[in-house]
Amino acid sequence: MALGGLVLAVVFLGNATWNVYRTYHDARVRELRTKDGLSVLLLREEHLVREIERLNTEEGREEEMRERFGVGREGEHLIVITKKELENSDGSHPIVPWYWVILDRLFGKE
């Protein structure tokens, strides 16, 4: 009888201890996830503050407008550089300089 009571007490206390451990573990995981989320948000805030500071300058606004909308100042002109394919003397297979082959592989062929 005493042995049965002892086993019952061990099972009851073991279950209670396990529940406390699980609660602690879950809280610890949530804490670590929250800290990671906070780190991400702080980095994003830092980036946004720098971006706002950049856009508060005339140069920053101009750079952003040029990048987003492709506009320029009055009197500026656009130069478009195109690739000219050369042909062999007999008119077959175009001869392509080596650097165009590398650029085509890096940026994709048009």
| pLDDT confidence of residue 83 | 65
Residue 87 pLDDT > 60: no
Structural domain harbouring 27: 2-107
**pLDDT, mean of residues 89-110:** 72
- Kindly state the percentage of the chain with pLDDT values over 90: 49
Q: Are 96 and 85 in contact (CB under 8 A)?
A: yes
Burial 82-92 (b: 16+ CB within 10 A, else e): eeeeeeeeeee
Report the domain count for the chain: 1
Per residue in 22-65, pLDDT tens?
999 999 999 999 999 999 999 999 999 999 999 999 999 999 99
Paired tokens of 79: 């130069």
Residues 6+ apart with CB under 8 A from 63: 54
Cα(46)–Cα(40) distance, integer angstroms: 10
Q: Is the dihedral of CA 33, 35, 39, 41 positive or negative?
A: positive
